Structure 1
Amino acid sequence: MIKVLQFPAKGGDSVMIQIGNMNILVDGGYTSTYKEYIENFLVNNSIDLDLVICTHYDQDHIGGVLPLIENYPHIQDVWYNGFYELFTCDSNDHLTFIEKRKLKADFSYVWEDSGETQEISRKQGESLSILLKKRDGLIRNSGLELIVADSRPISINKETTITIISPELSDLDYLKKKWEKELEFSLKRKTKTMDDEIIKAFENQQLITSFLSEDLNGTENISLPNNTIEDLLNIETPENDTSIINRAAISFIIDSQGAEFLYCSDSDDRTIEKFLKQRKNNKFVGVKVSHHGSIRNNWDWLDCIESNIFFISTDGIKHENHPSLNVLAKIAKKNPGCAIYFNYFIPKIASFSDMFREELGCNFIFPATSNLEYITIGSSYD
């Protein structure tokens, strides 16, 4: 039996997946997500985290993972394609004081988390790679060098496997080369050092790239307030999300005794579609929709799957077009009678709930209370 809980993570992601006695936390939302929800939930329920998956270094996914790794003792395994997984050091090169200052100037990023108090705000330049290295007793990437797309499943226990959809190795190689060029440009020389300032700068560079891509990466707004279902569906194929940060995100399929749950993180539409087309059976007991319901990440791949339950994580505030009505219409049309679970009440989406229910039998399900509750998604697809 698979259970799913979406923490209130504002415009970000943080999801608990429970399979029997096994607990998997995928991302941590913002720092405030951890302090206000995740920490108390873990402590109050005495939860041992068998696996923490940090899908990619984006503020609305990793913000809560940093204090988790710092403070929560009961973690067994962490998946993260970080600096130490991507780069090797074959020299004793060291940065000068001036070079360290240059890196801080070129790759600084100020954490933004609306509503945070000063007491729980993050320290600028904090690095997950460094935190993980300092922490004793953790298994990293289940003993693998990298978490990359592969048709061969990773065994989690006797009854559960995880098959990785993304990232592809070519995406991680692109990310590495892009960083190496930017580092060389900043320092005016090549270096293979593992200096902490380089590691911090690398992760900040990913945050900066993600922030810029939100404004520069294609058109998001297609749906209009008075559209019918058919209008929402009859559009040109949306632009694919070209952000390398999102393409490098870890997406996967959990298989527990034949019940498969599809988790799409922030992966782009083409990558998910390519992987799913290689599979014979794409019936899932549940689907976590990519990138908060963005139209650039969820379109063609939706034609490849069937499910009765879908999950979307967003408060609808950070990006007014998350989730996209076009995406919701496509999900509902392809999967008659399905339920779409949200982790916030979103008035602009709720206003369409009657139309979706009456025309397509699709139910929008918003949180009824402030209590955190698991959604059981069954033991098999029916």
Structure 2
Amino acid sequence: MLRIKMYPARNGDSFLVEAAGAFILIDAGFASTFQDFVKTDLASLSRDGSRLALVVCTHIDADHIGGLLEFFSSNGPEPHRIVAVDRVWHNSLRSMPLPPSGEEGVEGKLVLEALRRRGFGGPAAQGPISARQGSSLARLLWQYGYRWNEGDGTTCICQDQQPLALSEEVSVEVVGPSRARLESLRSVWLKEVAKLGYKGGEASADLLDDAYEMWCATLPQLQEPKARMVSANSNLRLTDIYAPDQSPANGSSIAVIITSAGVRALFLGDAWAEDTVARLQAAKPATGPILFDVIKVAHHGSYHNTSPEMLATVDAPCFLISTDGSRHGHPDFEVLAEIVDRPAPFERRLIFNYETAGAQRLRAHASRSGTPFSVHIADTNWISIGCKTQ
């Protein structure tokens, strides 16, 4: 069995997974998410003699990384940590090393200050995440000596790596990103900081990690298409409106499959649908979709990250949708409808962590295939994911 806590992270993501006694934290929403919800549970784990086997920062976006910055700032060095952490997966600039070519210099400091003035994540982040200015997650992991990306943080987490075995029963497989997506994000970053006046070297020093993470945290809100009003035309289907995500930060999102004694969970972060489909189709059976026991829907149910091809490739009896609906109109109803309209030999549960317009509308929807489904609003208790999908 596998258990999941889906925290109320406003328009962000935060999940605590228990897999056969191994605990995995995937994102931590905003700083307030960590302080109000996650911190108490981690302290409880520690008192019970447990530890975090893995912490995953899916990508550098304020609604995913903000709470992790708060966690690692307060968790500090050994031996007085809130909870012990075995390893952390996080792709920062340091994880994509570049040839050293000089010091950052005055220009680098000016770039960092320019990015600070923009704020870390903008208004949705409940104020700038800057109580400890200059402390990127990369710098905190380095400073406090965490096992980072299976070493010192100078390699990236991407599709190239072998599944990580946390025990004989539990493994974590990286579905994305590809190395090419990470390199693309880095290239965009280098062009942007050049516009801000950075003329120093490309070495992945602390200063550049700080500036890189601050810039990435503002990138998605600058590039994501404007919010689309829920369509008044109830006949619109996902095929009518789907448009691929173009945000390089979302394209860098770490997506994983957690397997626990045969139970499989697919956590998609904010990953691009095309990348996920390409990775999974190599293992696709001859007929029908790949079945998981639970799927965390990508990017809060955005119609830019769940494609018709994605839903032809994967299915599950349980779907998790994390958002309060406060930004961009997430989740998009057409995504929810397409999930439940497909024929299946099982009933689907769609679990939301907030009562959203999409959830309300879905309750009144009749599946086109007649496949039964139910809508649930989670609290902060464990969600049990049962026996192996057949």
What range is the shorter-chain TM-score in? Answer: 0.7 to 0.9
Q: Are 1:350 and 2:360 an aligned pair? A: yes
Q: Which amino acid aligns with 1:29?
A: G
- For structure 1, the residue ranges without an aligned partner over 5 or more in a row are none
User: Given that residues 276 and 301 in structure 1 are in contact (C-alpha distance below 8 angstroms), is that contact kept between their aligned partners in structure 2?
Assistant: no
Q: What do the CA deviations read for 1:326-353 (whole angstroms, capped 9, x no partner)?
A: 1111110125420100011224522430
Q: Given the alignment of the two structures, is residue 365 of structure 1 paired with residue 376 of structure 2, yes or no? A: yes
1:1-382 aligned within 5 A: 1-46=1-46, 47-72=50-75, 73=81, 74-88=84-98, 90-91=100-101, 93-97=102-106, 99-105=108-114, 108-111=117-120, 112=122, 122-136=131-145, 138-143=146-151, 145-150=155-160, 152-187=162-197, 189-215=199-225, 221=228, 223-225=230-232, 227=234, 231-233=235-237, 235-236=239-240, 238-281=242-285, 282-299=290-307, 300-320=309-329, 322-334=330-342, 336=344, 337-356=347-366, 360-367=371-378, 370=379, 372-382=380-390
1:113-165 deviations in whole A, cap 9, x for unaligned? 669599x97445431111110012x2112348221114842222222222211
Cα gap change, 1:197 to 1:34, in 2 (>3 Å): same
Normalised by the size of structure 1, how large is the TM-score?
Answer: 0.88
The amino acid that maps onto 2:389 is Y
Find the residue that maps to 2:381 and give its secondary structure.
coil
> Alignment partner of 1:209: what SS?
helix
State the AA in 2 paired with 1:202.
Y
Q: 1:264 to 1:67 in 2, by over 3 A?
A: same
The answer to whether the 8 A contact 2:254-2:269 is kept is: yes
Q: Deviations over 1:26-47 (max 9, x none)?
A: 0010010001111012113435
Tell me how far apart the structure 2 counterparts of residues 29 and 6 of structure 1 sit (CA, whole Å): 11
Distance (whole Å) between structure 2 residues aligned to residue 351 and residue 186 of structure 1 = 45
Alpha carbons of structure 1 residues 194 and 152: separation in structure 2 relative to 1, 3 Å: closer
1:132 corresponds to which letter in structure 2?
Answer: L
Matched residue type, 1:153: P
The residue matched to 2:8 in structure 1 has which SS?
coil
How many residue pairs were aligned? 369
Q: Deviations over 1:138-197 (max 9, x none)?
A: 211234822111484222222222221111111111122222333344446351344433
The structure-2 alpha-carbon separation of the partners of 1:115 and 1:249, relative to structure 1 and needing over 3 Å to count, comes to: closer
Once residues 260 and 78 of structure 1 are traced to their aligned partners in structure 2, the CA distance between those partners, rounded to angstroms, is: 21
Letter of the structure 2 residue corresponding to residue 31 of structure 1: A
For 2:277 and 2:140, the matched residues in 1 are separated by 34
SS at match of 1:164: strand
**Is residue 108–residue 198 contact of structure 2 (8 Å, CA) maintained in 1?**
no
CA contact (8 A) 2:238 2:335 kept: no
Q: Give, as a single letter, the amino acid of the residue that structure 1 aligns with 2:293.
A: V
Could you tell me the percent identity over the aligned residues? 27
Contact 1:125 1:204 in 2 (8 A): no
Say whether the 8 Å CA contact 1:314–1:344 is kept in structure 2.
yes
Counterparts of 1:11 and 1:101 in 2: how far apart (Å)? 31
C-alpha deviation, 1:237, in angstroms: 5.4
Structure 1 SS opposite 2:40: helix
- Residue type matched to 1:5 in 2? K
* C-alpha contact 2:53 2:166 (8 A) present in aligned 1: no
* Residues 316, 348 of structure 2: 8 Å contact kept: yes
Change (3 A) 1:108 1:197: farther
Which SS does the other structure have where 2:41 is aligned?
A: helix
> Which deviates more, 104-113 or 61-70?
104-113
Tell me how far apart the structure 1 counterparts of residues 349 and 108 of structure 2 sit (CA, whole Å). Answer: 54
What is the rounded CA distance, in whole Å, between the counterparts of 1:161 and 1:38 in structure 2? 23
Q: Structure 2 unaligned runs (5+)? A: 76-80
- Provide the rounded CA distance (Å) in 1 between the counterparts of 2:142 and 2:351: 36
Residue 259 of structure 1, CA deviation: 2.0
Answer yes or no: is the 8 Å Cα contact 1:31–1:113 preserved in 2: no
